Chain A
């Protein structure tokens, strides 16, 4: 069993479940993430029910420090994306792991 899930894992699942060609499955997986990416870049949050929300947050400029030299460097104002997992996702991640640990 593969350890990491990638785009190819997802397109294989789409290929099996939806009945499109492998090529088309893979390009549709790409377009789903492109669509999400485009929305986030324009500053719009993305809500996927029963999965989670991608939120764009504006960070102000602040003074950081180079941990090696101790030198102070300004960290410019920027946008960052945070992910808030839905309760459904949280509980699935929690329960399954617990079960596999007991076994």
Chain B
């Protein structure tokens, strides 16, 4: 089972009893709208300890329809990327390998 936005909102409301669900909804929506807006403007979003979102450019190219072998033109495009932050990366594996001296892995 995964954590979905409504459950995230519920958890935060329970931890902050003085707030209403609709306040927390606005908070969570504001955060993700702001990130989306920044990326739409081509800006990077850096969240210390969590990770960074960025926009990458993909050049136009000639692709091929794998089924028919037909050549199709693919326009240039921009795609959102996420890179896991150091703290999150380490925490994900903290219970697996405590003793292995963590070497650079990028």
Contacts and interface: CB of A to CB of B under 8 A. Distances in A.
Interface residues of B, number: 54
Nearest to B78: A97
Contact of B80 (A9, A79, A85): A85
B55 interface: yes
A45 B2 contact: yes
Interface residues of A, number: 59
Nearest to A9: B34
Contact of B93 (A2, A20, A79): A79
Nearest to B53: A83
Interface of B: 1-5, 8, 11-12, 15-16, 23-24, 26-28, 30-32, 34-36, 38-51, 53, 55, 77-82, 84, 88-89, 91-93, 96-97, 100, 103, 105
Contacts, number: 165
A2 B41 CA distance: 11
Contacts of B27: 14, 18, 20, 25, 28-29, 32
Contacts of B48: 6-7
B31 A32 contact: yes
A47 B4 contact: yes
B39 A14 contact: no
Given A97-B42, A100-B41, A10 B31 contact: yes
A103 interface: no
A17 B22 CA distance: 12
9 shortest A-B CB distances, which residue pairs?
Answer: A83-B82, A45-B2, A96-B40, A5-B38, A39-B3, A5-B45, A97-B78, A85-B80, A79-B92
